[in-house]
């Protein structure tokens, strides 16, 4: 028993010695092999650093040497090239369009007209018409159908489609007065027939012809009043020479288009169709074309495109006479952009005076019962927008030019008129090619100077 106690004490004592030895060895390794004093000193320094760290905020700034090293390393690495920024498309601002006629007020001689195409004005011209009840056309015109019973449907549709339709009105509207006694053929129509002009799409009628004065001054003044009340613009006749010779202007989408009408027919000193004077009503006569050319020059300075609608030539002659040949270049030189003629009751050549187109005669359109070739002349006038000078309006005279001219064959027959088709149209176009020197006419009737 005593022996076991001795062994137990020995084992416990040995265990204590081993544990103390292991502790001393651990302390030696911890102090890095320092002596006790050094270990104690290191222990104290660690304690001070911990106290300072607790008292001071933590700094994450690298030591100066570390910063220099990082900068040196960074400087040796190539900087990445920046990606190019996408180029923005250049925005070109359109100059604001200025309408030089925006402030122009409408009056008797200036009318505003809409156009289906803002850049092109389409005009059409037809020859002599007659609504006299004593002639077969009115007799063939049932009240319920009106003008549609004597004008072919496709032709009537085209006349109403164009922007400006111009017709030669070869009679007075009156139910008063008396026919001129010494005149072989005199015409008149009841004022209520003026509505047929509207049905035909008429935007302007010419009264410069040799039948407007058939029922004297009374019938003539009735005609002016009838057209004015109906709202149908007129040109070529008036209550005095200023009115008779004044152009009619149409303002269409920034373009100003002018029309002057005159007549040289009844080529003698005392015509039945009275010429207007400063004090007397009548038509604008141009047997001597001095005043006509003067008016053309004045009008051309005021508008962008000018048409002269002239009553001239010899009846039933398919070739221009001497006075047509003489006056055409004079009118063109004065400033006309297009010359349209009538009176001969038949077609005459297409031609050019310089670069100015001349339609020498439209022929009858809806005038009597005879079977005759006729035409609807259609022209397109194109807008031109020259460079603008700041905000200043573009001056008149530079905003329009002729784009195209077309001869559209028609036939008057049986007191009616219609488009010619097929072989009939080809025949008429071939006839026009034969008499129109220096002019090219294609299969659709478009014509140009050769």
pLDDT in tens, 381-424: 999 876 554 556 656 677 899 999 999 999 999 899 999 999 99
Residue 437 near residue 349 (C-beta atoms within 8 A): yes
d(CA 250, CA 258) in angstroms, rounded, equals 6
- For tokens 């077309």, the residue is 406
Q: HSE (CB half, 13 Å, CA atoms) of 412?
A: 25
In the predicted model, is pLDDT for residue 19 greater than 90?
Answer: no
- Please check whether residue 20 lies inside any domain of the structure: no
C-alpha 441, offset from chain centre: 26
User: Which pLDDT does position 18 carry in this prediction?
Assistant: 55
Does a structural domain hold residue 74?
no
Higher pLDDT, 251 or 16: 251
3-class SS at 245? helix
Average pLDDT, the chain: 85
Neighbours of 294 (CB within 10 A): 12
% of the chain beyond a pLDDT of 70: 75
CB of 277 within 8 A of CB of 244? no
Query: In this predicted structure, which of 110-124, 255-269, 286-300, 383-397 has the lowest mean pLDDT?
Result: 383-397
How many structural domains comprise the chain? 1
**Domain annotation covers residue 9:** no
Q: Which of 164, 171, 182, 258 is nearest to 220 (CA)?
A: 171
Give the ranges where 231-350 is alpha helix by DSSP (H): 241-245, 290-300, 322-334
Q: Which position has the higher pLDDT, 146 or 40?
A: 146
Question: 25 lies in a domain?
Answer: no
Give the global pTM.
Answer: 0.78
Element (H, E) at 13: helix 2-30
Asked whether residue 383 is domain-assigned, the answer is yes
Token digits of residue 277: 């004077």
Q: Quote the CA–CA distance of 38 and 26 in Å, as a whole number.
A: 16
> pLDDT tens digits, residue range 417-441?
999 999 999 999 999 999 999 999 9
What is the model's pLDDT at position 42? 44
| Residues 348/434, Cβ–Cβ less than 8 Å | no
Tell me whether residue 59 is in a domain: no
| 60 found inside a domain | no
Per the structure, the complete domain to which residue 369 belongs is given by 110-449
- Considering the domain boundaries, does residue 4 fall inside one? no
Strand-pairing partners, residue 248, are: 259
Average pLDDT over residues 21-49: 47
Question: Rounded to 5 degrees, what are φ and ψ at 37?
Answer: -65, -45
pLDDT value of residue 91:
62
Tokens standing for residue 220: 């003539």
pLDDT digits (tens, 9 = 90+) for 297-344: 999 999 999 999 999 999 999 999 999 999 999 999 999 999 999 999
**Which residues make Cβ contacts (< 8 Å) with residue 96, sequence separation at least 6?**
391
Of 34-38, 180-184, 201-205, 404-408, where does mean pLDDT reach its minimum?
34-38
Residue 34 scores a pLDDT above 80: no
The whole-number pLDDT of residue 128 equals 97
Q: Select the more confidently predicted residue: 40 or 207.
A: 207
Question: Which CATH number covers residue 125?
Answer: 3.60.21.10
Higher pLDDT residue, 45 or 385?
385
398 is written with which tokens?
């530079």
The CA R_g of the chain, rounded to the nearest whole Å, is: 50
- Residue 139, classified by CB atoms within 10 Å of its CB into exposed (0-12), middle (13-18) or buried (19+), is exposed
Cα dist from 371 to 83, 142, 248, 367, 412, whole Å: 82, 21, 33, 10, 5
Angle, helices 290-300 vs 322-334, to 10°: value is 30
Q: Which two tokens stand for residue 261?
A: 């009408």
Judged against a pLDDT cut of 60, whether residue 230 lies above it is answered with yes
């Amino acid at each position: 028993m005593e022996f076991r106690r001795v062994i137990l004490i020995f084992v416990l004592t040995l265990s204590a010695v081993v544990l103390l030895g292991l502790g001393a060895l651990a302390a030696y390794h911890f102090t890095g092999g320092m002596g006790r004093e050094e270990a104690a000193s290191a222990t104290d320094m660690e304690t001070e650093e911990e106290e300072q760290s607790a008292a001071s905020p933590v700094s994450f700034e690298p030591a100066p040497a570390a910063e220099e090293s990082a900068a040196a390393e960074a400087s040796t690495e190539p900087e990445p090239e920046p990606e190019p920024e996408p180029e923005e498309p250049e925005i070109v601002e359109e100059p604001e369009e200025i309408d030089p006629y925006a402030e122009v007020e409408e009056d008797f001689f200036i009318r505003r007209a809409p156009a289906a195409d803002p850049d092109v004005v389409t005009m059409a011209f037809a020859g002599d018409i007659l609504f006299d009840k004593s002639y077969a056309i009115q007799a063939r015109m049932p009240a319920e159908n009106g003008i549609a019973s004597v004008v072919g449907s496709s032709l009537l549709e085209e006349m109403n489609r164009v922007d400006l339709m111009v017709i030669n009105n070869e009679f007075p509207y009156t139910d008063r007065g008396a026919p001129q006694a010494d005149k072989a053929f005199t015409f008149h129509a009841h004022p209520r027939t003026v509505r047929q002009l509207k049905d035909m799409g008429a935007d302007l009628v010419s009264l410069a012809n040799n039948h407007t004065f058939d029922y004297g001054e009374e019938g003539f003044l009735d005609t002016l009043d009838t057209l004015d009340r109906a709202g149908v613009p007129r040109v070529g006749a008036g209550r005095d020479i200023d009115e008779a010779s004044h152009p009619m202007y149409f303002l269409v989408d920034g373009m100003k288009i002018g029309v002057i009408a005159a007549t040289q027919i009844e080529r003698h000193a005392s015509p039945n169709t009275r010429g207007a004077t400063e004090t007397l009503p009548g038509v604008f006569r141009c047997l001597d074309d001095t005043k006509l050319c003067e008016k053309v020059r004045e009008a051309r300075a005021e508008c962008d495109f000018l048409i002269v609608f002239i009553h001239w030539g010899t009846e039933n002659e398919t070739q221009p006479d001497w006075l047509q040949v003489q006056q055409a270049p004079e009118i063109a030189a004065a400033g006309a952009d297009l010359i349209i003629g009538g009176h001969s009751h038949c077609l005459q050549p297409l031609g050019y005076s310089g670069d100015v187109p001349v339609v020498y005669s439209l022929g009858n359109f809806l005038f009597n019962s005879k079977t005759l070739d006729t035409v609807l002349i259609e022209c397109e006038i194109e807008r031109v927008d020259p460079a603008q000078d700041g905000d200043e309006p573009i001056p008149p005279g530079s905003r329009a030019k002729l784009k195209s001219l077309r001869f559209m064959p028609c036939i008057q027959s049986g007191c009616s008129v219609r488009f010619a088709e097929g072989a009939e149209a080809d025949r008429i176009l071939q006839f026009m090619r034969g008499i129109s020197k220096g002019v090219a006419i294609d299969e659709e009737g478009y014509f140009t100077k050769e």
